[in-house]
A and B are shown apart, each in its own frame.
Chain A
């Protein structure tokens, strides 16, 4: 058994790991921003009235949700060059993770929109509001509070999935730990520290989401 935790070594690699953590946070942030916007488009697209579009979007969402993210990352990274389009690891990684989570977020939005009572739509119709205004002024403001817990959970989710970006060489936390491991042949400290850093970030964020959820529920009188 060669279990010997070296604090000196841990302190030596910590700056490098923390720098990589910034990249991880940035990747999660960008991916989440893409997911928020594309997810909304996917949700609204399904309500466009066109049956064909609705069906196509539903199938797309189902497909994205039922296949592994790591495979989607590889697919986007490697398939481009085959057709002459080369994407950097960062760009393909952000695209993959953003698209993957947009499928989940669209379901959150959809549930939120569907929870708005029918009477609200009818009232808007009776006031002769345009569809655009109905969504913007009446439906989305009501759908948003109910969607916040789901949106928060997927923010934590996307953060925890960023290590998969290391498979195409995005320089995030996992990638940094891998490099340290292969340079020094020490895996105990880097991998353990990665776990600790993840816990240190995701536990408080999950706690915050929980608080937010409780607050929203109270506000909605649930």
Chain B
């Protein structure tokens, strides 16, 4: 079977899988960004409880594997009375996992904002919350973007694991086609190429564009 015949036969199914992968990516990104901001700021909080909670979250999710977290959330959490549909369990696990790494990026970027900026805001009598929101975070945001670009690619790759709890994403469809036809090179090959295209021709250019736009807004160019 030539690759063209293969695509004609299975193209639609692979496209559907790609859409599910994109949806997983978008939802997981949102979870990751929110979790990273909360945990990153929480890690620097003066409140003992918030700080400990953030550290525990970060260390647990960075210290174990995404696959373990996914299985735990999908198979074990129901035993505690929290049953999540597989689609939600999927992007939630991926998002929380990546969010723990993102938290360290957030913290690093906030600490990289020069001391003088904190002092100048302080000298204007700004409250800590306002100083963070108006002065520090906007500058930290620009510093975070390049590492987030890499992290979002890791996140996209992470979404492939949701196939293992039977979310019908690109990976899952490729596996199904492989199981039914044993056209392994075609099925997995096409999936690999699609992931590559998503990463390098959508995510990376978008993040570069965002970096340029944000630095221009900051008047750095």
Contact = CB atoms under 8 A, between A and B. Distances in A.
> Do A and B come from the same complex?
yes
Interface of A: 1-3, 62-63, 65-72, 74-75, 78-79, 81-83, 160-164, 166-167, 174, 177, 181, 187-188, 191-192, 194-195, 198-199, 202-203, 206
A66 B189 CA distance: 14
A188 B79 contact: yes
Given A167-B164, A195-B64, A3 B80 contact: yes
Contacts of A82: 182-185
Interface string B64-108: 111111011001100111000000000000000000000000000
Contact of A78 (B72, B164, B184): B184
Interface in B132-184: 153, 156-161, 163-164, 171, 174-175, 178, 182-184
Interface of A is mostly: helix
A105 B163 CA distance: 27
Interface of B: 59-60, 62-69, 71-72, 75-76, 79-81, 153, 156-161, 163-164, 171, 174-175, 178, 182-185, 188-189, 191-192, 195-196, 199-200
Contacts of B164: 70, 167
Nearest to B66: A160
Given A3-B79, A78-B178, A67 B196 contact: yes
B81 A202 contact: no
B64 to A, nearest CB: 4
Nearest to A187: B75
Contacts of B67: 163-164, 166, 174
Given A70-B171, A78-B188, A198 B63 contact: yes
A68 B195 contact: yes
Contact of A68 (B72, B76, B171, B184): B171
Given A66-B199, A67-B196, A79-B185, A163 B171 contact: no
25 contacts: A63-B192, A66-B196, A67-B192, A68-B157, A68-B160, A68-B195, A70-B163, A71-B191, A74-B174, A74-B188, A78-B184, A78-B188, A79-B184, A82-B184, A161-B65, A162-B65, A163-B65, A187-B71, A191-B75, A192-B76, A195-B72, A199-B59, A199-B60, A206-B62, A206-B63
A18 to B, nearest CB: 16
B178 A74 contact: yes
Contact of B161 (A72, A75, A164): A164
Nearest to A160: B65
A161 B68 CA distance: 10
Contacts of A74: 174-175, 178, 184, 188
A75 B63 contact: no
A36 B101 CA distance: 24
